[in-house]
Structure 1
């Protein structure tokens, strides 16, 4: 039996991981990251779904669907939408589970426009600058919070 369901959302341009600015984002592909998350979730008895979109509305549709399917938590790397999307914030505000915001790079060491996050206003936790390990840390936090809660 599953401990709970987790949705991992990857925003725009993250489908290019491994080839796009590897000096910032590393050499791992999105498939590498998702495979590692699937293994980690399975070891803890959790069900995980990973989705990527370059389209804001599609990310919002994924969040809204998670409200209805028993998803316990969303791990989201909104990428550039972090700094611009009130619509994603509104969708996350309508989700009752945990939300962890993840960024591969340390956004606070980058351009000043990247220092503000709309998503952080809803996030229960924010992880930035750990590369792909940030996703693993987020999933570990979700699984630890869900243990014994009946999720």
Structure 2
């Protein structure tokens, strides 16, 4: 499993990259000042950073218990990203509605658009992160039952 330091590096680098990418795109897509989208983005990033740490810790602990390791297949990565984003959507929608002074339905639409963009971003970021910072204990069983390192 990943250390607390590694999880912190992961969460912060994920959120900083997401803010740099999504804030200008969100301002452009919704016709809002980039500064307003940026403020909402920072608030959402703080919430998301805490959520990222908690979610990934719990997910990896459950995966470790079920499979004996934390190696993720492509389909498991998709599942991981979808569940993460659905829960985050529920956490962030009220923040978006309140700060941007829009109705909950409008905030839901905005949140879904951001979630879709972040889902793609999360999938690509996490895959890259695992390649750049692999765990030395990761291994896959070979077809003969032997552990292949």
Q: Normalising TM by the smaller chain, what interval?
A: under 0.3
Greater strand content: 1
Larger Rg: 2
Scaled by the length of structure 2, the TM-score of the pair is 0.26
Scaled by the length of structure 1, the TM-score of the pair is 0.26
